[in-house]
Structure 1
Amino acid sequence: MTRRTKLRNRARRKAGRLPAPLKCVRFGELFNQSIGYRYASFEETTAAILSGFKGEEWRCLRDFTGAVLKSDLTPDEQMKLWATACTD
């Protein structure tokens, strides 16, 4: 096995079965531990976060979240997915 193949396989294992697209990482970065203090309700929080997504970013996020909801990811894989999306 070549070094390039080993590195590619390592990156795939790290990303998991359903890697987050780079456009969706920005969505994950908006979720942090103090998000509940910024807005009065869940609806306000969601509206504020989603207001920054337009056009292609919105479609990418919609398609990705749909794929996650339809997937059969294990709890460990879900945690890995959230970790790659830069949430805390």
Structure 2
Amino acid sequence: MAYDHNIDKDRCKGCGLCVTVCPKNVLEISNKVNAKGYFPAYQARPEDCIFCAICCTMCPDVAITIREIEAEAAVPKLTEDEDE
């Protein structure tokens, strides 16, 4: 099963808490700035997510939501450029 992280890049301040607490290293910090000048998180490895939702809980900006992706749907690995 795979999960899709919806990260509101305009709310994310790039603090990295979500990246630090993820037990499967699904998230990473982007090297591109958002509209506010921060480096937001992005979903680097969606196929590794176990839906623990620790990232959602830890995000001080409430910028992350997770949804289940249908089993039949292909889960392409997103690059930082495609995740905008």
TM-score interval, normalised by the smaller of the two chains: under 0.3
Bigger radius of gyration among the two: 1
Which one scores higher on RCO, CA 8 angstroms, separation ≥ 6? 1
TM-score by length of 2: 0.25
TM-score by length of 1: 0.25
